Amino acid sequence: MRRSAITTTARKTLVATLRDNLREQIKSGKFAIGTRLPSEAELTREHLVSRTVVREAIAALRADGLVEPRQGSGVYVLEPQAEIPAPFTNIDSTRLSSVIELLELRTAVEVEAAGLASQRCSPSQEEKIILCLRAVNEANSDRRPSTEADFALHLAIAEATNNPRFPEFIQMIGPNSIPRRALDQSAPQEVPQSYIDRINAEHDQIVNAILGRDDNAARDAMRMHLKGSQERYRNLLRK
């Protein structure tokens, strides 16, 4: 049994070595786009490995989109595919349109999260939501930056769904998903008190509905909060 394990490990190392070697030759242009790789037998002789190692290395290159086997012809080098950027990495929080896009997406997810949280949250999760609510309301009232506290509240609600996909989504989009209270953060004293009071009241309504185990009210409160944010930013676009 031990001998088999060692043999398997050695083969995996040979596969990785051959895969990396061929990948480098493709990237360097030794094997140009559209050309055929050496045959399985040629690669076996050149690199002193088994046919199994060659096949596994070619399979790895195929999975990476670097080569394409063609029946009866051989294995051909493909043109590299454009790298797909990771989701939510090109968000520009200074652009109102980006803020609105995220708010629309958050509305689709977080309305349901609020409803589920109202039915599933544990006592410890309730306590965390209350503490997060207190922190964001105090930051808003004191006219201190509240983005992190706001994000923590929404994350706590997502966690209270007890479905790990909801907090994973919130964490993936990150704090940039929280709209800034004003475009000019350098002058927080200019934020109207009416705005602060409204945001705090909206957060209160969401949390009270969750704690009251009213899933319909929780969804409605979250929808009103995020739809209201969308409307406020759309009004800024019109100016």
> What is the amino acid identity at position 80?
P
pLDDT higher for 185 or 66?
66
User: Is a pLDDT exceeding 60 seen at residue 184?
Assistant: no
Q: How confident is the model at residue 43 (pLDDT cuts 50, 70, 90)?
A: very high
Per the listing, tokens 């964001």 go with 136
Cα separation, 122 vs 117, in Å, equals: 9
Q: What's the confidence (pLDDT) of residue 210?
A: 98
Residue 6 token pair: 């060692």
Residue listed under structure tokens 């029946």: 71
Which range, of 11-25, 72-86, 145-159, 178-192, averages the lowest pLDDT?
178-192
197: tokens are 């009071």
- Name the residue among 100, 103, 101 with its Cα closest to residue 111: 103
Q: Are 36 and 75 in contact (CB under 8 A)?
A: yes
pLDDT of 182 higher than 50: no
For residues 201 and 193, what is the distance between their CA atoms, to the nearest angstrom?
Answer: 12
Per-residue CA distances from 198 to 137, 141, 163, 169, 205 (Å): 11, 11, 30, 26, 11
**Nearest alpha carbon to residue 232 among 195, 207, 188, 192:** 195
Token digits of residue 85: 């950027």
What pLDDT does residue 225 have? Answer: 95
3-state secondary structure of 212: coil
pLDDT value for 90: 67
Report the C-alpha gap between 215 and 209 in whole angstroms: 7
Distance CA 207, CA 100 (A): 23
What is the average pLDDT score of the chain?
87
pLDDT digits (tens, 9 = 90+) for 111-141: 999 999 999 999 999 999 999 999 999 999 9
Residue for token pair 């088999």: 4
Of 176, 168, 179, 190, the closest CA to residue 232 belongs to 179
- Lowest-pLDDT choice from 37-46, 127-136, 175-184: 175-184
**Structural domains present in the chain:** 2-77 (1.10.10.10), 96-238 (1.20.120.530)
Q: What is the mean pLDDT of residues 63-90?
A: 82
